[in-house]
Chain A
Amino acid sequence: MNMWGYYNNMVSSKPAPPVMNQPTPFSTQVVSHLASHYSLLNQENQYGSWAIQVSPSDYFSVVSDLKSRHQFTMLTDLCGVHYVEPEPVLAVVAHLHHLPERSRLFVSVHLPIDNPSIDSLVSLYDAANWMERETYDFFGIIFKGHPHLVRILNEDSMTVFPLRKGFPLEDSTRDDKDDRMFGR
């Protein structure tokens, strides 16, 4: 196949850019198709992109469907969030992007905080490798099937997960800061 011909004008030949804060008809159709096959725990329009929440057991199949059947070929990002209310959960949000249709879709899954473990997307998207390592490094979420799940940004000897709420921002071993100057 002529690579030049296939990818050239893949994106910019489509006519109209999306209207601000309104999901594209394409993504609305994709979401309703997913809703008929899986149970979506939550679905909301986040400033122009649909954000769906699925259960941990459906997560891999939903993303796999989105990739193979609906051609969401790019995994833009994958990050974690620590929610403390109403009950403490760790969420994983995968941002998917359909380039020619200019549609984004956010797939999130909520995991219990004492055993956060979810399937890895590395077999679908190579980009998920370091994204999941970063999420593990920050939140402690275990990705089953990840080839090399070790810390990436923090030191290897760190035992806690710093981006969880409750972990202090500043280095607690410092002894040279005068509390009176810092308003504490």
Chain B
Amino acid sequence: MTPDKKTVTVNLGPTHPATHGVFQNIIELDGERIVEAESTVGYIHRAFEKLSEHRPFYQITPITDRLNYCSSPINNIGWHLTVERLLGVQTNRRIDYMRIIIMELARIADHIVCNGILGVDSGAFSGFLYVFQQRESIYEIYEEICGSRLTTNIGRIGGFERDFSDVAIAKLRHFLEEFPKVLSEFEALFDRNRIFMDRTIGVGALSAERALAYGFTGPNLRATGVDYDCRVAEPYSSYTDFEFDIPIGQNGDTYDRYLVRNQEMWQSLSLIRQALDALPSDDYHVHVPEFYLPPKAQVATVMEALIYHFKVVMGEIPVPKGTVYSAVEGANGELGYYLISDGGRSPYRLHFRRPCFIYYQAFPEMVKGALLSDAVMTMSSLNLIAGELDA
């Protein structure tokens, strides 16, 4: 700190109420204006990529849970899609529609967190409480389907571990009736709220070219006007059977990101409704005996089932060699899995293409010249999840 230095260095994080999760921004302030910012990450680096080199494929699913933990089913299903692509497994329509329902529920859950916390960061706490109650309903649906609330470990390679029970379908229908009312109320609180608009319009704006240069994907990119969505560009899991829109913004500022996420929640609701109405009756898993545990009753009586059970649990299954990159549209953007398999029971190299990590680089540019409170709003609207940032 030299005597003629005109700026003040402020440390925003890693433990700060505005940083949701642990990442640090070292900000140079001139009064209230930010002159320069530098971000440091790695405070929750859990070495996922190293860890997954030591685990068989089906043990990597719990690790993928903890990437973007607000919407863990999307990560799980994305991983299973990657392995299915490597193995050449085709799933039937029922599995695909069930996956769509679960993934869109997870997308709604993630956007609830993002937009709710965006409200909290600008001082409006009530909206958060209203939509979080709906997140409890989503948790109950997850519990019916897989047993767990947050880190779901949902699905298997080749399908699901159990079918949707009647209770699950009833809860889904109930959710489809209740959530639109709550979402409308949430929108009524924020959309044309003078204070919220003043705090978010023009804040953290980024043009489409800069966003593409920084590798943005997901709602943050769509808020700048580029309509790139992995569900449309490289469809997976029968998304082509359904009608949905891709909401895009114009200015790429915080208000656009907020609006895009809200509209995506409406689109997800419509997708869930369409998928639930069109759900065909079929098996809830396809025949992948090398990776799908046989039913327990058969394991006790049928010899092949016992052998497969042993081989699956011990991971003694030969896997095709190859390199595959598969991406799903996570709640934050393109979540990619780059899997290099050498035929062994665990991947040779598994690299996660994490959207948060890639677009957080743009944060110093987005807040340059803005006020300190704008930095907080920008950070919150980018939906930075620490687990995905550091992996």
A residues lining the B interface (CB < 8 Å)? 3-4, 6-12, 17-18, 20-21, 46-47, 49, 51, 73-77, 79, 81-82, 93, 95, 99, 102, 104, 106, 125-127, 129-131, 134, 138, 151-155, 162-163, 167, 169
B27 on interface, CB distance cutoff 8 Å: no
CA distance A29 to B369 in the complex (A): 44
Which residues of chain B come closer than 8 Å to A130, judged between CB atoms?
357-358, 360-361
State whether B47 touches A17 (Cβ < 8 A).
no
Which residues of chain A come closer than 8 Å to B323, judged between CB atoms?
46-47, 51
Closest A residue to B232 by beta carbon equals: A12
State whether B215 touches A11 (Cβ < 8 A).
no
Q: List 8 A-B contacts (CB under 8 A).
A: A3-B225, A4-B225, A6-B208, A7-B226, A126-B210, A126-B215, A127-B358, A169-B54
CA distance A153 to B49 in the complex (A): 12
State whether B349 touches A17 (Cβ < 8 A).
no
Question: Measured between C-beta atoms, what is the minimum distance from B340 to chain A in Å?
Answer: 6
State whether A102 touches B334 (Cβ < 8 A).
no
Closest A residue to B353 by beta carbon equals: A77
Question: Measured between C-beta atoms, what is the minimum distance from A84 to chain B in Å?
Answer: 10
State whether A7 touches B225 (Cβ < 8 A).
yes
State whether A11 touches B334 (Cβ < 8 A).
no
Interface residues of B in 183-240 (CB under 8 A from A): 207-208, 210, 212-215, 224-229, 232-235, 240
CA distance A138 to B50 in the complex (A): 10
Question: Given the interface contacts A95-B353, A129-B361, does A102 sit within 8 Å of B229 by beta carbon?
Answer: no
B103 on interface, CB distance cutoff 8 Å: no
Beyond A11-B227, A17-B234, A102-B233, 9 additional pairs, beta carbon < 8 A: A8-B227, A12-B229, A17-B232, A73-B212, A95-B325, A99-B233, A126-B210, A153-B45, A167-B50
Closest 10 A/B residue pairs (Cβ): A127-B215, A153-B42, A153-B45, A79-B351, A77-B353, A7-B226, A47-B324, A126-B213, A7-B225, A46-B323
B248 on interface, CB distance cutoff 8 Å: yes
Closest A residue to B327 by beta carbon equals: A76
Contact pick for B212, options A21, A74, A93, A151, CB 8 Å:
A74
State whether A76 touches B50 (Cβ < 8 A).
no
Which residues of chain A come closer than 8 Å to B349, judged between CB atoms?
81-82
Question: Given the interface contacts A4-B225, A17-B240, does A46 sit within 8 Å of B45 by beta carbon?
Answer: no
State whether B213 touches A76 (Cβ < 8 A).
no
CA distance A54 to B225 in the complex (A): 35
Which residues of chain A come closer than 8 Å to B210, judged between CB atoms?
126
Could you say which interface size class chain B belongs to?
35 or more
Closest A residue to B351 by beta carbon equals: A79
- Interface class of chain B by DSSP: mixed
Which residues of chain A come closer than 8 Å to B362, judged between CB atoms?
126
Question: Given the interface contacts A3-B208, A9-B227, A127-B361, does A163 sit within 8 Å of B50 by beta carbon?
Answer: yes
Closest A residue to B326 by beta carbon equals: A47
Which residues of chain B come closer than 8 Å to A20, judged between CB atoms?
85
Contact pick for A102, options B234, B322, B351, B391, CB 8 Å:
B234
Question: Given the interface contacts A47-B322, A153-B41, does A7 sit within 8 Å of B227 by beta carbon?
Answer: yes
CA distance A75 to B51 in the complex (A): 26
B286 on interface, CB distance cutoff 8 Å: no
Which residues of chain B come closer than 8 Å to A154, judged between CB atoms?
42, 45
State whether A10 touches B226 (Cβ < 8 A).
yes
- Central interface residue in B41, B207, B233, by most chain A CB within 10 Å: B233
CA distance A131 to B235 in the complex (A): 26
Closest A residue to B357 by beta carbon equals: A130
State whether B361 touches A126 (Cβ < 8 A).
yes
Contact pick for B338, options A95, A126, A162, CB 8 Å:
A95
CA distance A17 to B17 in the complex (A): 43
Write out, one digit per residue, whether chain B residues 352-373 have a CB within 8 A of any chain A CB (1) or not (0).
0100011011100000000000
Which residues of chain B come closer than 8 Å to A169, judged between CB atoms?
47, 50-51, 53-54
Which residues of chain B come closer than 8 Å to A163, judged between CB atoms?
49-50
Question: Measured between C-beta atoms, what is the minimum distance from B360 to chain A in Å?
Answer: 8
State whether B325 touches A99 (Cβ < 8 A).
no
CA distance A152 to B232 in the complex (A): 33
Question: Given the interface contacts A9-B227, A11-B226, A79-B338, does A162 sit within 8 Å of B390 by beta carbon?
Answer: no
CA distance A21 to B87 in the complex (A): 12
CA distance A93 to B323 in the complex (A): 12
B15 on interface, CB distance cutoff 8 Å: no
